A and B are shown apart, each in its own frame.
Chain A
Amino acid sequence: MSTAVLTPAPDTHRGWRRLPLIRQLQQSVGLQRGMLVAGLVLSGLFLLTAVLAPVLAPYEYNQLRDPAGPFGAQQEPSSAHWLGTTVGGYDVLSRVVWGSRTALYVIVVAIVLSIFVGVLLGLVSGYFGGWLDRVLIVVCDAIYAFPTLLLAIVVAIAINGGQSSMWGGILAAAIAITVVYIPQYFRVVRAETVRIKAEAFVESAKVIGAGHWRIMTRHVLRNATRTLPLILTLNASEAILTLAGLGFLGFGIEPSSAAEWGYDLNRALADVSSGIWWTSVFPGLAIVLVVLGLTLVGESLNDLADPRLRTRRRAVASRADVAESPVVPGGSLAAGPGGLAGLEGPDEGRRFDQ
């Protein structure tokens, strides 16, 4: 027998290169890489702005005057107010910068509220099956039919009773999003769990005598999280859109308690027809860019996770130096009797799971 074939390829992807995002970044080429980089840059800028808002913003979000006197309403962009001022007399740049903070809060709260419940329910439902599974699926299908924004309005009224504090507005948007997104996490994790439950390694854990809880946490859960990044980014962008929608409809946060892009857009409605462009363009741009950035990251992570969608560099001729390495990654014997099929086999996908 050939010992050369049995020697597995040395693993060159240890250490920091294995970290998520960095590994995907190295893996990607061409358009996919462009999408991922653009998404990462946009999302990174958003995060930085939110964290450094006190440093970056020239004024407070609710500041109407400085020592020189009131800002004045609907002032054109100038050296004192780079992006002008709003109809209420706030500095547009400061409102946009501080608004990112509110957006980040709502993302974090919405994700934290939905991900744990959704994943746990999906795991239990998919693993045990039976009547619990069926009931949960029916409930989730019913929730899909729920209009998010209407729910958010109801929640906003219930929480605030008409007054809009910062956390009241954030919670209203986050809870509405949570209700709609728990079924999404549930569905994804349940589907993966059902698939993984049939894999031989789960059966082998059963044969060993491992308990249900151990199988669920150690063997199923970690293998079932492959598509979570995509849902996570969708969840985040949906949360921002709902918050903005609430603000736009007038159920949002008062300008004195926090900066919020939807509210500013709402106030800028009348300005558009009178030629005052700066009050609406910048908050609108902020919403579009952040949602775009998050969606780009999610989309490209999803494409990269799937070996069939992932584009690779073209094969290069004249590489005689690989002659002694196995033809199939992970040792040629890893492939089934399929030969070529083995090249794109389950190993490929598994590698990504690490």
Chain B
Amino acid sequence: MRSRAVNDVVGIENLSVSFATDIGTVDAVRDVSLGVAAGEVLAIVGESGSGKTVTARSILGLLPETALTRGAILLTSKDGATTSDVVTLSGARLGEVRGRDAAMVFQEPSTALNPVYPVGWQIAEGLRAHGKYSRKEARQKAIDVLRRVGIPDPEHRVDHYPHQFSGGQKQRIVIAQALVLDPGVIIADEPTTALDVTVQAEILDLLRRCRDEFGAAIVLITHNMGVVADLADRVAVMYQGRIVEQADVRSLFAAPQDPYTQQLLAAVPRLGQGVARTRERAAARPSGWQEAAPIVAARDLRIVYPGRLRQPDFVAVDGVGFEIRPGEVLGLVGESGSGKTTIGRAIAGLTKVTGGSLQVLGAEMNGVKEKAFRPVRERIGFVFQDPASSFNPLLTIAEAVAEPLVVHKRFPNAAAARARVDELLEQVQLPKAFGDRFPHELSGGQRQRASLARSLALEPELLIADEPTSALDVSVQARVLELFDELQREHGFAALFISHDLAVVDLLADRIAVLYKGRLVEEGTGAEVLGAPQHPYTQRLLASLPVPEPDEQALRRGAWERLRAAD
């Protein structure tokens, strides 16, 4: 543990935060003490609900009215002239400190910017709040800071509106907004979670420059250990509202002390773990499986979303071809907008195929009629991305899991199917009693396991898993992935596993297909695609992925920078 030093820009002492909720008072943060030195990057890591965001937000006094804060948060201005306790500040005094001493970068850049004002105006707004600037001066400062965060042609683009920028550029503008007043510390709350891996690498690079060139300390909130390894100098691990471990980044990754930190690090999927598993799975298959007729075959598959109001049509999937053989797991990787989810939905009959051919279990999906496809649905399972919304909130887990059994007339009603439901819940390692609970009474990981149980209820030949773990914490993700692997081996179903995370796909898939802007750029076994990527996009994707290992990540970063310079 490191106690508070004199030159700290932020000093948190014995901070506790409680919230008033419907079920009474809950403590979100308990007795947390932290210090952030000038020019230092402190990462606060932990799973959702660990209190990391609440801690960071309380530095700016950004908590809702229902919160009760105790302790002290001492915020020192960059020049060291003034120190104020944020907990006791209110109203105008708090406004003075915000932006000048500490600024915030939010998770979702698309909602952090106001869509009806030009970005230059929004950057200048912070200046206007903290001093007298003429319109011209403010504009000039906005252009300066936009240039420094790497927006090309800032003189011109300062008058553009947020929708005219890409997601990564929007996040740059949000960072520019935070930097314009030259604050001593920037609170970055999951600054890259909503971004693609390749964009994430760029933003991490920018944040590093914030520290090096602007001299700002950064409090980085994240659950991604790769990001921590890439950027942080020091790490605080939070669990259930407490700090369980604080150490500099190298010693934390090399020798984690607290059992929770050890578990957390062990749960992070790493590239290259999948090769052994793939071999195991291949060995367990009957010989000649590769010659078996594929159960899903796409040829020149094209899916177009019609444009509205004279906008051009959007081509989501363009000339993609692949096959899934019985018992095989195909991993589909790509960034948002690459068309990976669209392909999954098309196989399940949720999205219409516009061109080419897509054969699913013998049914041609191009021009398929719902009535003709309904019998095939029995043989397909689907696991959705968001476990929170994929269950009807008014049905118990048992009723929801029984739904496919009842719809396909295996049982007359949910009560009659209960024995089978219990069996399914047991398979996904949920206690039988959970069947009587409502979805909101389960945690995210438990819900996703129940979702697996539901998709397996009819013993499908094909399972489509659309980012099943991206809404889960790392530690929970590891367990769900483990379970998926076990069930796949046991039941031998074929699967399409869609994910944006290369490491996750590597863990489970026999073959990996990489999508980029609707096209299939690379396909092969995990060893081929990850070991020796051929397509420049795959190379960039691999290089952008931060690994949870500070020293190795520093080397990889060098490789990434060379790759970027070559572009």
Contact = CB atoms under 8 A, between A and B. Distances in A.
Interface stretch (A57-65, A79-87, A181-189, A328-336): A328-336
A12 B441 CA distance: 11
B472 A333 contact: yes
B209 interface: no
Nearest to A326: B49
B443 A339 contact: no
Interface string A216-236: 001100110000000000000
Given A317-B70, A339-B51, A327 B388 contact: no
A323 B444 contact: no
B51 A327 contact: yes
A334 B437 CA distance: 14
A4 to B, nearest CB: 8
Contact of B377 (A12, A207, A218, A346): A207
Given A6-B446, A337-B48, A353-B393, A322 B27 contact: yes
B404 A209 contact: yes
B25 interface: yes
B495 to A, nearest CB: 15
Given A334-B388, A338-B107, A339-B54, A2 B443 contact: no
Nearest to A347: B440
Contact of A329 (B21, B239, B348): B21
B442 to A, nearest CB: 6
A8 B23 contact: no
A313 B26 CA distance: 12
B472 to A, nearest CB: 7
Contacts of A317: 18, 68, 70
A301 to B, nearest CB: 16
A332 B442 contact: no
Contact of A219 (B21, B388, B392, B471): B392
B479 interface: yes
Interface string B465-487: 00000011101101100000000
A350 B440 contact: yes
A340 B443 contact: no
B384 A333 contact: no
Given A209-B374, A322-B27, A342-B49, A201 B390 contact: yes
B443 to A, nearest CB: 3
A331 B442 contact: yes
Contact of B27 (A323, A330, A333, A347): A323
A330 B48 contact: no
B394 interface: yes
Contact of A351 (B22, B48, B260, B445): B22
Contacts of A348: 22
B393 A354 contact: yes
Contacts of A191: none
Given A9-B23, A332-B50, A336-B471, A1 B476 contact: yes
A334 B443 contact: yes
B415 interface: no
A246 B375 CA distance: 58
B175 to A, nearest CB: 19
Nearest to B348: A207
Given A327-B27, A339-B54, A204 B22 contact: no
A346 B471 CA distance: 14
A276 interface: no
B392 A201 contact: yes
A322 B446 CA distance: 22
Most buried by A among B68, B374, B403, B472: B403
Contact of A204 (B68, B382, B476): B382
A1 B479 contact: yes
Interface in B223-270: 223, 239-241, 260, 263, 267
A334 B442 contact: yes
Nearest to B28: A327
A339 B48 contact: yes
A338 B26 contact: no
A328 B221 CA distance: 18
A8 B441 contact: yes
A342 B471 CA distance: 12
Interface in A292-326: 310, 312-317, 319, 322-323, 325-326
Nearest to A204: B390
Contact of B394 (A206, A210, A222, A343): A222
B325 interface: no
A328 B49 contact: yes
B19 A315 contact: yes
B328 to A, nearest CB: 21
Contacts of A310: 22
A45 B115 CA distance: 51
B374 A340 contact: no
A1 B375 CA distance: 41
Nearest to B471: A336
Interface centre among A4, A332, A339 (most CB of B within 10 A): A339
Contacts of B386: 200
Contact of A208 (B25, B47, B241, B377): B377
A166 interface: no
B67 interface: yes
A207 B382 contact: yes
Contacts of B144: none
A141 interface: no
A289 interface: no
A336 B20 contact: no
A330 B388 CA distance: 11
A5 B443 contact: yes
A333 B49 contact: yes
Contacts of A204: 382, 384, 390-391, 451, 454
B566 to A, nearest CB: 33
A205 B51 CA distance: 35
A338 B24 CA distance: 21
B16 to A, nearest CB: 8
Interface string A188-207: 00000000000111011111
Contact of B26 (A11, A218, A325): A325
Interface string B411-441: 0000000000000000000000000011111
A256 interface: no
A200 B455 CA distance: 14
Contact of B52 (A322, A339, A346): A339
Contact of B240 (A5, A8, A203, A337): A5
Nearest to A209: B377
A12 B24 CA distance: 12
Contact of A337 (B223, B392, B395): B223
Interface in B1-51: 18-28, 30, 47-51
B471 A329 contact: no
A27 interface: yes
A214 interface: yes
B389 interface: yes
Contact of B350 (A1, A201, A207, A353): A207
B147 interface: no
Contacts of A341: 53
Contacts of A322: 24-27
A1 B437 contact: no
B287 interface: no
B190 interface: yes
Nearest to A210: B407
Contact of A206 (B22, B350, B408): B350
B21 A201 contact: no
B18 A209 contact: no
A119 B207 CA distance: 53
A11 B436 CA distance: 12
A227 to B, nearest CB: 16
B445 A6 contact: yes
Given A209-B404, A348-B22, 6 more contacts: A2-B475, A6-B445, A205-B403, A337-B48, A337-B223, A338-B107
6 contacts: A1-B478, A9-B23, A205-B403, A319-B24, A322-B25, A336-B471
7 closest cross-chain pairs (CB), A and B: A332-B49, A339-B53, A331-B443, A209-B377, A333-B443, A315-B68, A200-B390
